[in-house]
Chains A and B, each alone.
Chain A
Amino acid sequence: MIVRINGSPEEVRDRITAAELVTERGLNPEAVVIEVNRRIIERENWDETVLSVGDSVELVSFVGGG
């Protein structure tokens, strides 16, 4: 299915969870914040957050900044 990740459409497998998305992309879960359809997903809810077709997902993390 297609979801939008950080603004770009991407193919992901059906019923993927937020937690799986993070680990399958090789991201360090400690360093990531996930927003799905503009709602922040708290880390304890990543496992039960199942993505659906057309969801808009933001994956963000901290970088250096002033």
Chain B
Amino acid sequence: MKDIFNAGGKELTSRFFLGTGKFSEKSLVGDVIRASGAEVVTVALRRIDSGSKEENILNYIPEECTLMANTSGARNAEEAVRIARLARAAGCGDWIKIEVIPDNKYLLPDNAETLKATEILSAEGFKVFPYMNPDLVAARKLEDAGAAAVMPLGAPIGSNRGFRTKEIVRIIVQEIKIPVIVDAGIGRPSEAAECMEMGCSAVLANTAISTAGDPVGMARAFAQAIEAGRLAYLSGKPAREFTARASSPLTGFLRNSGRD
């Protein structure tokens, strides 16, 4: 049976969401997206510097991808809502990743403002994917507010420190019905696999790939790890024990009976 991921009213086959920030060459983005197999790709919205001739990132994103604009730069719900509306007007569709970040040191999100923005934008027909600090109560409120998924962080954005929040994310996965997508901090394919083994629906990664020596190779490695982790989850995890459980028969062999 095909493993389809239903999110935001779409049927996805890839569980790898890819960010497009911090690539040394924009021309790499297309190759990385193809290598990743990602069907959902994030972009940001910025003021245009006068004089800068920066090329449009959308030119490098294959047309079949679903764009998800983020609201980075927003420090409260009002700014996030404003950015979301701009992104939709710019032709980005109605998928929006809410990012409300009042601090620049750890880039940790403000769950209360994120909830406010989620309520407003869900009511306006957006498919809202809120980036959040892992917290069960907040996740439940986001679910009730109409979020399409929740996106708890694994570690601070861009830190590559891995899946540090696993104890709380595990609880969120158990307790809410909407998809849980781990976003931020995942630095290694093995960590992405761990998210998927736990039952998370998808993983969003950016820095781990864009700052790798070979981003195309790393995108492929993440894609395989995410698939492997998902398959492991679907296959039912075997039990963990504190003592050994022999995998080969232990009946006496090459040993005299009556002796140790």
Query: Interface residues, chain A, CB within 8 Å of chain B?
Result: 5-7, 10, 25-28, 30-33, 35, 38, 40, 42, 58-66
Which range holds the interface residue count of chain B? 35 or more
Question: Do the beta carbons of B54 and A60 come within 8 Å of each other?
Answer: no
Question: Do the beta carbons of B19 and A40 come within 8 Å of each other?
Answer: no
Question: Do the beta carbons of B42 and A7 come within 8 Å of each other?
Answer: no
Q: How far is the CA of A65 from the CA of B48 in the complex (A)?
A: 15
Question: Do the beta carbons of B70 and A63 come within 8 Å of each other?
Answer: no
B171 within 8 A of A: no
For B50, the chain A residues whose CB sits under 8 A away are: 5-6, 10, 25
Which chain A residue lies CB-closest to B209?
A66
**Known A-B contacts A33-B90, A60-B86; A65 and B47 likewise in contact (beta carbons under 8 Å):** no
For A33, the chain B residues whose CB sits under 8 A away are: 45, 86-87, 89-90
For B206, the chain A residues whose CB sits under 8 A away are: 65-66
Question: Do the beta carbons of B23 and A64 come within 8 Å of each other?
Answer: yes
Question: Do the beta carbons of B21 and A31 come within 8 Å of each other?
Answer: no
* B238–chain A nearest beta-carbon distance, Å: 34
Question: Do the beta carbons of B70 and A66 come within 8 Å of each other?
Answer: yes
Question: Do the beta carbons of B19 and A66 come within 8 Å of each other?
Answer: yes
Q: How far is the CA of A32 from the CA of B78 in the complex (A)?
A: 21
Q: How far is the CA of A61 from the CA of B87 in the complex (A)?
A: 9
B220 within 8 A of A: no
Question: Do the beta carbons of A62 and B86 come within 8 Å of each other?
Answer: no
142-189 of chain B: CB within 8 A of chain A: 157-158, 184
Q: Of residues B19, B26, B57, B157, which shows the largest number of chain A Cβ atoms within 10 Å of its Cβ?
A: B57
Q: How far is the CA of A6 from the CA of B19 in the complex (A)?
A: 25
Question: Do the beta carbons of A61 and B46 come within 8 Å of each other?
Answer: yes
Q: Which of B20, B22, B90 contacts A61 (CB 8 A)?
A: B90
B44 within 8 A of A: yes
For B44, the chain A residues whose CB sits under 8 A away are: 62-66
Interface 0/1 of B205-231, CB less than 8 Å to A: 011000000000000000000000000
Which chain A residue lies CB-closest to B45?
A60
Q: Which of A5, A30, A65 contacts B56 (CB 8 A)?
A: A30
